[in-house]
A and B are shown apart, each in its own frame.
Chain A
Amino acid sequence: MYSASTRAPNDLPMLDRSLPLDGVIVLDLTLALAGPLSTQRLGEMGAQVVKIEAPEGGDFSRYVPIGELNSFGDSTAFVMMNRQKKSVSINFKDPEGLKTFYRLVAKADVIVQNFRPGVAERLGVDFDTLKHLNSELVYVSISGYGTEGPMKGRPGQDLLLQSFCGLTMNGGSKGGNPQPSPVFMVDVTASHLATEAVLAGLLKAKKSGQPQFAQVSMLGGMMEMQLQEISTYLAHETPPERTEFDSSSIWMGPPYGIHRTADGFLAMAQCDLEELAVYLESAELLKLAKNPKPVSDIESHRLWRDAIYSELERVFATRSAIEWDAYLSPKNVWCMVVQDYKTFLAHPQTQQYLCTMSHPVHGTYTTPKPAIQFNGLEEPQLTPAPLYAADTREVLQDFGFSSQEVTNLEENGAVYQHIYS
């Protein structure tokens, strides 16, 4: 996978140092969020990522913005999850299109797909078909709920999976609304698992000279993400329950959670309650801290817990979140002022994680840097998300198709190149 012969000539701009996946070619058959984010990460590690899109518009998420915001001709969110890629449009339902894809597979190292179960087989792009074309192929599939079971045909959507996997009952109050995570962590987690599967697969394929197949699912990812809570739940007869006080996690004791102050909100993580009582000069809290109720007596534990939260509510209401943070933080109490994006993204701590990029339609914009910082590569070189079907001709020629062959394929509708003026 590292030999020069598999390396298509049209590479990213020269970097001042090599990246781990330089020379690795990834064929990206994914849509939406989990798949595209995982292949983008591979691109940030140096891989050449070819996003293969269906005719007539490609990845639907180009056209499904979040917050109804499009700044790029495509959905803003799409642009953020598809950098470091080129876009090629191939019609898999056309026999010539499928043959074209097979020629790419022969020279590629990695395929990532997130079709619903059964679709890859129907299209003829499943692992058992493709492994014969490339002896060191790494093939990773991402599903919503796994390939079996009553839910396998259901949409693998973030909120629905959060709701399905028990997550939302870990916070909130007794009888109150379920408490989902306000960001798309199911997708993000599946994207990580897929990246890890690709990397582990590349190692194994290289060492063994054999094709590798790995499967990850959003549901498996959510099980792993909740491993503390689920493992603890499984190991015990009486798991904690939601109480009257709106909790950030039912698994954590007070003062863990978010507290309203005179101005803004203060987050508190684990701390020694007796110490906190002294700092807050609360005799009531000190009394409660000195008299913790046993975990096994659910009812008295619940009353004890809510009594503490209610006392904290009283005390924290007397000063602003910024004042409390300035007072408690130097005493090594684990707390934080709760910020919104405006404050967070302007905070001096955050600047090292942001960079500027430019896009052919939108121009220059600010965005988060790749999350993994490679040695000696302070400023990563990033290429923007590809416009739909913008690179079909160029990529096919990089893979050894003649100009005439590409023209024929285009005329037959097997592949599609969009011309941007």
Chain B
Amino acid sequence: MFVPNNKPGPLSGVTVLDLTLAMAGPLATSRMGDLGANVLKVESPSGDFSRLWPIAGYVHGGESSAFLTINRNKRGMVIDLKADEGRELLYKLVETADVLVQNFRPGVEKRLAIDFDTLKKINPKLVYISISGYGDEGPMVARPGQDLLVQCFSGLTFNGGARNQKPSTSPIYIIDTCASHLAVEAALSGYIEAMKTGKGQHMKVSLLSAALEIQVQEISTYLTSGNIAKQSDIDAVSTWMEPPYNIYRTQDSWIAIAHATFPSVAEAFDRPELIEIGAARPDIASGEPYLKWRDQVFAIAREEFEKNTTEFWLEKMTALGIWVGPVNDYETIKTHPQFKDLFTLVEGHKGGTYTTLAPAIRFDNTPAIRPAPGLGEHTDEILAEYGYDAQSISTLREKQIVK
């Protein structure tokens, strides 16, 4: 189990205003929190809707289990940005902030008067990051920036599977997480530049640009060659990779095979004809002959793998230098020694402890992990840091500007 050493992380001293909802934005700011930044999650009076949108219906202490992890290492406050006084309060926070991250739909930030052009007058060093679904123009701008929908829009799902079968989606939220990375990269590089020049800037990332970047290999290859690796009749993990690259059923479970030469696979399976088949590979541009050839290799691999156990194949193939691995589920990884250092124990904001993921980037300094804030949990504490006395805080509360 990973234990933070409680030293200030590399981003200590950097203040981040987090005006984001759902996943890509909150994950970006929590990663900055993992690295030691002072992250203030500013929520509307009704709060980030994803508090109450658990995946698979699972909640912990009344809130979504997923929300709790995506929002750790932040303090939370509630400000009504639709009220003039609420907006003024945000402006006050902006004065000394280094980074602001928002993922409103395009246009909302202008309506609320918290767009970059407005805020840079208050703080010229402010690095302003917006995360959109599809950019800020074009026919799709108003469409929901949701992970599965962007996967499907961006051509990703036809990189695997079999022809005429269902498109092959990624079973986890790869678009949101990659967009969250882009947002952190934008924030940090923008902050480095602001340190040098004294000037902040507006940097934009989108779920769509994240989707393009994830597929840089496949899309670039398609764009430059005009060739697309098509689906064949046998289900493939990636249409772009040479067989036997795939996941196969074995006698007792599954096995994944990545890189292998035809002679080594021929030896492992004791199917010498595979050497000849490998040498007779038609050109990919030949279309159907290539697909038929590919399915011939897949079919032999399917047949052979089913004859023995995963353990047997792992041992035999690894010895031959073939890149193979087991296909685990979460139950296995929970206790597998390789994951030992990747889990950590955190206290819930409503009490109790829970096991969650350790930070993915390790410096020598790793700050303590702070649980996700309750709605408005730190409003008073943060306002006090910005010089508000008890009287003015309670006035703001009475007017329902803060909560």
Contacts and interface: CB of A to CB of B under 8 A. Distances in A.
Interface of A: 2, 18-21, 33, 37, 41, 45, 65-69, 71-72, 76-77, 79-81, 145-146, 148-151, 154-155, 157-172, 177-185, 188-189, 192-193, 195-197, 199-204, 206-207, 212-217, 219-221, 223-236, 239-240, 246, 248-253, 256-258, 260, 265, 267, 269-270, 295, 329, 334-345, 347-354, 362, 365-369, 371-376
Given A69-B284, A223-B360, A251 B166 contact: no
A153 to B, nearest CB: 10
B178, B325, B326 pick with most chain A CB within 10 angstroms: B325
B313 to A, nearest CB: 13
Contacts, number: 461
A193 B361 contact: yes
7 contacts: A67-B218, A67-B221, A68-B242, A159-B247, A234-B356, A267-B152, A348-B139
B118 interface: no
A350 B140 CA distance: 10
Contacts of A372: 182, 185-186, 189, 203-205, 209
Interface stretch (B225-233, B263-271, B394-402): B225-233
A295 to B, nearest CB: 4
Nearest to B183: A372
Contact of A200 (B35, B159, B239): B35
Contacts of B342: 146, 219-220, 223
Contacts of A374: 201, 203
B356 A182 contact: no
Nearest first, the 8 A-B pairs at minimum CB distance are: A182-B160, A171-B171, A192-B181, A181-B170, A199-B188, A204-B10, A160-B325, A163-B256
A184 B217 contact: yes
B148 A256 contact: yes
Interface in B207-256: 208-210, 212-225, 227-229, 235, 237-242, 245, 247, 249, 254, 256
Nearest to B210: A371
A243 B403 CA distance: 42
Interface stretch (B73-81, B88-96, B191-199): B191-199
A180 B11 contact: no
Interface in B116-146: 134-135, 137-140, 143-144, 146
A248 B149 CA distance: 11
A234 B355 contact: yes
Given A338-B167, A365-B224, A168 B247 contact: yes
B144 A269 contact: yes
A229 B357 CA distance: 11
Contact of A371 (B166, B182, B217): B182
A393 B227 CA distance: 37
B193 A19 contact: yes
Nearest to B208: A353
A373 B210 CA distance: 12
Contact of B192 (A20, A163, A167): A20
Contact of A226 (B53, B157, B172, B337): B172
Contact of B174 (A181, A345, A353, A354): A181
A229 B55 contact: yes
Given A20-B193, A339-B152, A374-B201, A66 B217 contact: yes
A172 to B, nearest CB: 7
Contact of B171 (A33, A179, A189): A179
Contacts of A195: 181, 185
A269 to B, nearest CB: 4
A169 B69 contact: no
B273 interface: no
Contact of B190 (A20, A223, A256): A20
B312 interface: no
A27 B185 CA distance: 19
A196 B216 contact: no
**Most chain A CB inside 10 Å of its own CB: which residue of B249, B329, B340:** B329
A269 B149 contact: yes
A179 B186 CA distance: 32
A187 to B, nearest CB: 9
Interface of B: 9-11, 13-14, 23, 27, 31, 35, 53-58, 60, 65-66, 68-70, 134-135, 137-140, 143-144, 146-161, 166-174, 177-178, 181-182, 184-186, 188-193, 195-197, 201-205, 208-210, 212-225, 227-229, 235, 237-242, 245, 247, 249, 254, 256, 258-259, 283-284, 323-330, 332-334, 337-343, 354-358, 360-364
Nearest to B254: A178
Contacts of A166: 328-330, 332-333
Interface of A is mostly: mixed
Contacts of A199: 184-185, 188-189, 192
Contacts of B326: 163-164
A104 B137 CA distance: 44
A163 B55 contact: no
Contact of B240 (A67, A81, A234): A67
A233 B60 CA distance: 11
A328 to B, nearest CB: 12
Given A367-B224, A373-B203, A196 B208 contact: no
B363 A185 contact: no
Given A180-B160, A251-B56, A214 B362 contact: yes
Which of A157, A239, A350 is most buried by chain B, counting CB atoms within 10 A of its CB?
A350
Nearest to B213: A371
A345 B188 CA distance: 30
Contacts of B137: 352
A45 B189 contact: yes
Nearest to A169: B329
A220 B225 CA distance: 34
Contacts of B328: 163-166, 169
Nearest to B256: A163
B66 A203 contact: no
Given A178-B247, A204-B363, A253-B57, A183 B166 contact: no
A250 B135 contact: no
Contacts of B204: 372-373
B357 A197 contact: no
Nearest to B365: A204
Nearest to A375: B201
A182 B169 CA distance: 7
B225 A76 contact: yes
**Most chain-A Cβ atoms within 10 A of its Cβ — which of B23, B223, B259, B323?**
B223
A307 B386 CA distance: 55
Nearest to A367: B220
A185 B168 CA distance: 14
Given A227-B66, A295-B58, 10 more contacts: A41-B185, A164-B338, A177-B247, A182-B161, A195-B181, A213-B364, A341-B155, A341-B218, A353-B135, A372-B209
Contacts of B157: 182, 258, 338
A249 B66 CA distance: 15
A248 B254 contact: no
B189 A345 contact: no
B354 A258 contact: no
A206 to B, nearest CB: 7
Contact of B327 (A66, A178, A337): A178
A198 to B, nearest CB: 9
